[in-house]
Structure 1
Amino acid sequence: MTAEQPAGFWSYTHRDDHLDGGRIVRLSERIASAFEMITGEPLEIFLDKRSIEWGDAWRARLDSALTGTTFLIPVVTPKFLKSQECRREVIKFAGHAASLGLDELLLPIHYVNVPQLTQGVDGEPTDEIVELISRRQWVDWRDLRLEDEDSPVYRQAVHKLALKIADVLETAPPARPVEVTQQDEATEEPPGFIEVMAQAEAALPTWLQIVEKFGLVIAEIGAESSWATEEMNNSDARGGGFAGRMRVAEQLSVRLSEPVENVDALGSEYWSTLSSIDPGIIGFIRHVGESDLTPEDRQVARDFFKEIVQLATVTKETTAQLQEFSDNIGGAARSSSRLRPQFRTIQAAVQKVIDSQTVLDEWNRMIDETDLGGDQP
């Protein structure tokens, strides 16, 4: 396969495919066949994330300005949103595509109903991956997946989807990398590298502070949860039964109100600031890797990269701890309907930090692959 040949990455969970009798994989094969029938050109769709070929092709395409011939098709289901690997793929591809002005090459298929994607769910915390997908023209396959695969309805739908992919690849604008220019305040042009770097330099200390605050609030929530456990044990010892446990759960709900509100705000702020600047940072790192820099610019880039790498290193350990905390919260949430909404909010906030780490890790990976990656001042 040449770099110019169209290629798709089929992002799905193997468990979903197994539960649906292999239909998800067969759908990718039918789309590739229909595309070749329509265009006369082969379309390679990479399926298995576990293979070396997938990883090598994925990284090579993301790091290349030839991303204009590459698309990602996330097969969206409730289980897809719970898969950290699938979430990472969407985040990374969205950032790279946006850095080249090629947002339309993210082509989601809504395969099994995810209520937030269609009408939203009152009282439910927002999911940033759902928001990324909802901004694209996703394809609705929720009813079609129940059709017989050889039925005219199903075959026509496959044809239309292949036609859409062909049209997107044909009409997608040329890649538009961010340019190294000083932005005129009177224009509405997107920021160039100078503005991106200024934003990032100002944001780096704030990002680190948010992570530190996040850890403190999570510790506070953990302490309150420990208090509740002890109170429930005391109540059980007094013969309080489930009524006593309910009283403690209600007290815990009140005590958690403020820290849960804080952790929700911190998670949203952290994700929104990182994701908004992600395309610009990706573009800047790509520019540094491809350009002959003056000694002065090289030093500026080296110092900037060092700060990013340090941030990613510091947050990585915190993120791992938060993942463990979120898993524990998930078990506790099932024990009380009164606490369940608050625990879901905590989990959603933690997920935003985990997803933000994907952004930082991708910057780190790209930096490491430039000739400044191992550079020391």
Structure 2
Amino acid sequence: MSNNEQPAGFWSYARRDDELDRGQITRLSERIADAFEIITGEPLEIFLDKRSIEWGDAWRMRLDSALTGTTFLIPIVTPKFLQSQDCRREVIQFAGHAASLGLEELLLPIHYVDVPQLAHDVEEKPTDEVVELISKRQWVDWRALRLEDEDSPPYRQAVHKLAVKLAEILETAPPARPIEVTSPGQDDEDSPGFVEIMAEMEAALPAWQDTVLQFAAFMETIGIETRQATEEMAASDARGGGFAGRMRVTEELSSRLADPVRKIESLGSKYWTELSTIDPGVIGIIRTASNTTLSAEEKESAQEFLEVVEQLAGVTGQTTGQLRSFSNEVGTAAQGSRQLRPQFRAIQAAVQKVIDGQAIIDEWSRMIGEIKAQMQE
């Protein structure tokens, strides 16, 4: 097996976590690679450097090649990991690609520091969509082990066990099963054809765009209500209303926000669920769009579809940036009122679903850009 064909693990982690743990996260990756080589006789290449664009390009290239079944993403899950947009984006985009190939076991999370929603004893569905993605995988519990001495028998045994698990996945994983679209000449009455799928997607994409615009409208309503409350509070203070006056304004604001917050929560959940559900299929469709065997009609439909996706990415990208700024403002405001804090947190959670949904759309847009570049060569 050549260096280019060897198994590879893409170590996704928050750099600050590694700094706080005195480099232990980095050393763990090295120990696992060493244990894997001892067990299998084959080296395991670990990719750690996420600072350059090549990091993401590397796992994408491997997933699109014969190396598909030997490419792992290993997220080191901590509170800071979940706070990092880059880390969240990596999990979301890798999960979509892996699912589109029928190889979801290639995402192997390590639960490094306690994230309550990921614990086995939590029965409720996680409210964080990235935690939900991770919870569906066979994640490894390292919460107690990280406190062990790295040369202690329990720690070394756990490293060995994880290396064995990686080796077993490589040994038993089925071959990639890309999502297929009925191609020209195929006689399959049960499978939709390329043109039919394009028509469905073209109808759905504007609806998602409308959802994002609705989201922005509700955010504007919340902003107006919040500014009005600020003015009312200032007027109350000027009249000598004191703490009681502030409490009255806060209670009235909480009541006015109840309905828009409920609608925002519903929109955010709907948006994320729809995007994440069809993500593997859209990735498969975009791959098929680059197929040179498509008929003239299918090529025309594919081109129209790709243009609609790009338009969606442009609109949602701009709106998502505005929502991210609004979420930061809401987070600051939440510190000032215990009564409003649950509503503000609900708003932030809903906004995060839209931001994470943008990671999916951005990946579609990136793939389309590659296809266009290839067509111009």
**TM-score bucket of the superposed structures, by smaller chain:** over 0.9
State whether structure 2 residue 325 is matched by structure 1 residue 324: yes
Contact 1:9 1:46 in 2 (8 A): yes
Q: Residues of 2 paired with 1:121 and 1:257: CA distance?
A: 26
* C-alpha displacement of 1:51: 3.3
Unaligned residue ranges in structure 1 (runs of 5+):
none
Residue identity opposite 1:342 in structure 2: Q
Identify the residue that residue 248 of structure 1 maps to in structure 2: 249
Q: Structure 1 residues 250, 192: CA separation in 2 closer, same or farther (over 3 Å shift)?
A: farther
Q: 1:87 aligned to 2:88? A: yes
Q: Which amino acid aligns with 1:169?
A: L
SS at match of 1:368: helix
Q: 8 Å contact 2:32–2:162 — kept in the other structure?
A: yes
Cα distance between partner residues in 1 of 2:66 and 2:284:
10
Q: How far apart are residue 3 of structure 1 and its match? A: 4.4
Contact 1:180-1:194 at 8 Å conserved across structures: no
List aligned pairs for 1:358-369, cutoff 5 A: 358-369=359-370
Residues 63, 238 of structure 1: alpha-carbon distance in 2 compared, 3 angstrom cutoff: farther
What is the 5 A alignment of 1:1-377?
Answer: 2-51=3-52, 53-64=54-65, 66-118=67-119, 119-120=121-122, 126-181=127-182, 196-371=197-372
- Is the Cα contact below 8 Å between 1:235 and 1:241 reproduced in 2? yes
- Aligned residue pair count: 370
Moved more, 196-205 or 16-25: 196-205
- Mapped to 1, the partners of 2:66 and 2:76 lie a distance apart of 25
Offset at residue 297 of structure 1 (A):
1.4
Q: CA deviation at 1:198?
A: 4.4
Residues of 2 paired with 1:93 and 1:17: CA distance? 22
| Gap change, CA 1:152 and 1:59, over 3 Å in 2 | same
Is 2:215–2:267's contact at 8 Å kept on the other side of the alignment?
A: yes
Letter in 2 for 1:305: L
- C-alpha separation in 2, matches of 1:287 and 1:4: 25
**Deviation of 1:54 (Å):** 1.9
245-254 or 75-84: which moved more? 245-254
Within 2, Cα distance between the matches of 1:308 and 1:9? 28
| CA deviation vs aligned residue, 1:171-213 (integer Å, no higher than 9, x gap) | 111000112228755xxx9x77566534422311210111111
Secondary structure at 1:72 match in 2: strand
Q: Secondary structure at the match of 1:349?
A: helix
Deviates more, 1:2-11 or 1:153-162: 2-11
Question: CA 1:231–1:100 in 2, change beyond 3 Å: closer, same or farther?
Answer: same
Q: Secondary structure, in 3 states, of the residue corresponding to 2:371? A: coil
- RMSD, aligned CA: 2.1
Q: 1:39–1:290: structure 2 CA closer, same or farther, 3 Å change rule?
A: farther
- Contact in 2 for aligned 1:278/1:359 (Cα 8 Å): yes
Report the CA distance between 1:61 and its aligned residue: 2.4
Q: How far has the Cα of 1:58 moved from its partner? A: 3.0
Is this contact kept in 2: 1:110–1:138, CA < 8 A?
yes
Q: Is the 8 A contact 2:117 2:126 kept in 1?
A: no
Amino acid at match of 1:283: G
**Would the aligned equivalents of 2:195 and 2:301 in 1 still touch at CA under 8 Å?**
no
Q: Which SS does the other structure have where 1:71 is aligned? A: strand
Residue 92 of structure 1, CA deviation: 0.5
The percentage of aligned residue pairs carrying the same residue is: 67
Contact 2:289 2:302 survives alignment (8 Å): yes
Conserved 8 A contact 2:118-2:126 = no
State the distance in 1 between where 2:359 and 2:115 align.
Answer: 23
| Preserved CA contact (<8 Å) 2:13 2:87 | yes
SS in 2 for 1:49: coil
**Superposed displacement of residue 101, structure 1:** 0.1
User: Cα deviation per residue 1:35-58 (whole Å; 9 max; x = unaligned)?
Assistant: 000000000010110135424413
1:370–1:165 Cα change, 3 Å: same
